[in-house]
Structure 1
Amino acid sequence: MKSKRESTADKLTNFLFTIPAVVLYSIFFIYAVIVGVNYSFTDWNGIAKTYNYIGFENYKSLFENQYFWNTLWVTVKYALLLVVGVMITSLILALCLNSIKHLKTLTKSIFFIPAMIGGVTISLIFDQIYYRLVPVIGEMLGISALSQSPLASAKTALIAVVFVNVWQAVAMPTMIFMAGLQTVPGDLYESAMLDGATTFQRFRYITLPYLMPTFTINMVLTIKAGITSFDYAYALTAGGPSRSTTVIGISIYNDAFNNMKFSLANAEAVILFIIIALLSLIQIKISSKGGVN
């Protein structure tokens, strides 16, 4: 009887501890999403106390706007470049760090330092590197392509911004990959080596299947980070030159705070939410087929 009472008390205690998190999540996420979706069907400018419902006019306006489609395309390119850069770099780093025998903790801590610095701070540092250091290096090496900052050209600005994002974003995926590598049984490697399997074969048929769950986590997080990116592009280029780095986050910001079209900005945010949800579901579905059963 006593143990049953203790079990009930434990359940009640656990339930009470979840209440603050549920309340905060409901207010700052669920309620905010519902309000945002509601405003996307209005003509609210963000200041007026009253507004009118205009149906799907905001969405219709976006789909008929060529700038919006260009912004979506820039965002897709940004996300793809970020995913490729982060996944390849973090996987290589994880494999290298996992093979280190001594001072592994110290080495991991050094590689994790960029994740603890704010995105705007990193962007401002690289802004000076691009504008002051890169042209000097280009002049010393006689490379005309490096004679000016890569942020000044519409052809290279997006890649330059993504590079900064990748530099900071690889830390967490690397740690996740390293955690995944710890789940691979060492006996499998030994058996494969006795059977004459090459390093690539061991990676392809042993390491990779065991890393699929961590691949899924990193892919979903990186895709979301790429599509919702704002601070790097805004701090480095503010969307220029020639809108070549105007991702959808900057477009939402400009419509909301510069153009005072909060309802239109909410419509863009809703579309962004749908895109992220669909991509995440597709990625999880694909990745779940390649793991270890």
Structure 2
Amino acid sequence: MVKSNHKLGWLFASPYVIYTLIFFLFPLGWSVYLSLTNWNLISPEYDFVGIQNFTDMLKDERVHAAFWVTYKFMIILIPMALVCSLILSLTVYSLPKFKEVFAIGFFLPYLASGVASAVVARGLFSYNSPVNEWIRKTFHTNIDWFGSPTLALMILCGMITWKLSGYYALLLLSGLESTPKEVHEAALLDGVTGFKKFRLITLPMIYPQMYTVLILAIGVVFHIFTEPYVLTGGGPNLATNTWQIEIYNQAFTRLSAGYGTAIAVVNALLTFITVFIFRTLLEKWGTKNGW
């Protein structure tokens, strides 16, 4: 009977197992192998070069830039997205009516095309845009939004925050809605209100949703491509050169597919390490708060 149950379990799990083998494990193994070659994406022949691609990365300033840009995004983007999504979720939660309508409205930017958003942003911050014309007339100065490394990075963080906040807010809202009302009533009786209530009660109660949002946001940071590719191409001075842009440029522009694959492998490894560190810290915080 036990063996029969095991077979039935494997039968039901087999579609996912087969999918994982075909679309994840096999491509992953093939990528690791290609990262050790000098394949140029076109020729059917390529040579095994060992760890040469990885040692070359140690001297490549473009790869160095992608490394630091990713963590700059993490420092700026994740707090922005978290704060905005918290504000949105708390706002919707406090509404007496039409919560669903507002929740769907805030979610819509997540469905917007990254290319379309980037084109709109380019028009908004272009030299002849109404925004720049007003700034020139009012302050007698001209701002080169995409020519400044700091401003370009901030604009991209703002765009991605706008896109993700509604989706993350829905996740946090589910946690708020599942919190027993008795907990809030007890806090009110004890005189715990305002930010103190938010810090001591609301945040710990939505820990599972916060955990999910933060892990998802970290994954997004390591896979940013569309917005900087359309708006800045990784510039100025590699200030927005993400891992994905560098992988694309190496593999499809310079036709150094072996080197590009090696960069992708390093990106995957750094993503795993960063997620593991954050998971460990978040789980310690959750354990401290009773989870």
Is 2:89 aligned against 1:101?
no
Unaligned runs of 5+ in 1: 1-7
Question: How many angstroms apart in 2 are the aligned matches of 1:91 and 1:65?
Answer: 39
Deviation at 1:168, TM superposition (A): 0.6
Q: Normalising by structure 1, what TM-score?
A: 0.90
Is 2:221 aligned against 1:213?
no
Look up the match of 1:134.
131
Tell me which of 131, 137, 148 is aligned to 2:143: 148
Look up the match of 1:179.
174
Is 2:57 aligned against 1:57?
no
Look up the match of 1:264.
259
Look up the match of 2:20.
25
Deviation at 1:25, TM superposition (A): 2.7
Deviations 1:23-46, CA, capped at 9 Å, x for gaps = 233212111111101111111111
Question: How many angstroms apart in 1 are the aligned matches of 2:20 and 2:135?
Answer: 50
Tell me which of 33, 51, 76 is aligned to 1:38: 33
Question: How many angstroms apart in 2 are the aligned matches of 1:285 and 1:55?
Answer: 33
Question: How many angstroms apart in 1 are the aligned matches of 2:4 and 2:96?
Answer: 47
Is 2:233 aligned against 1:248?
no
Cα separation, partners in 2 of 1:51 and 1:106, compared to 1, 3 Å:
same
Contact 2:62/2:241, CA 8 A, preserved across alignment: no
Deviation at 1:153, TM superposition (A): 2.2
Cα separation, partners in 2 of 1:128 and 1:149, compared to 1, 3 Å:
farther
Deviation at 1:157, TM superposition (A): 0.9
Question: How many angstroms apart in 2 are the aligned matches of 1:203 and 1:148?
Answer: 39
Q: Normalising by structure 2, what TM-score?
A: 0.91
Is 2:263 aligned against 1:282?
no
Cα separation, partners in 2 of 1:143 and 1:100, compared to 1, 3 Å:
farther
Look up the match of 2:234.
239
Question: How many angstroms apart in 2 are the aligned matches of 1:124 and 1:13?
Answer: 51
2:228 partner letter? A
Tell me which of 109, 117, 120 is aligned to 2:115: 120
Look up the match of 1:66.
61
Contact 1:161/1:232, CA 8 A, preserved across alignment: yes
Bigger CA drift: 19-28 or 153-162? 19-28
Question: How many angstroms apart in 2 are the aligned matches of 1:220 and 1:255?
Answer: 28
Q: Give the SS at the match of 1:152.
A: coil
Q: How many residues align?
A: 285
Contact 1:134/1:148, CA 8 A, preserved across alignment: no
Deviation at 1:74, TM superposition (A): 1.3
Q: What pairs up with 1:195-210 in 2 under 5 angstroms? A: 195-210=190-205
Cα separation, partners in 2 of 1:104 and 1:43, compared to 1, 3 Å:
same
Percent of residue pairs bearing the same amino acid type = 27
Deviation at 1:154, TM superposition (A): 2.6
Please give the root-mean-square deviation of Cα atoms over the aligned residues, in Å: 2.1
Contact 2:251/2:260, CA 8 A, preserved across alignment: yes
Tell me which of 153, 158, 166 is aligned to 1:163: 158
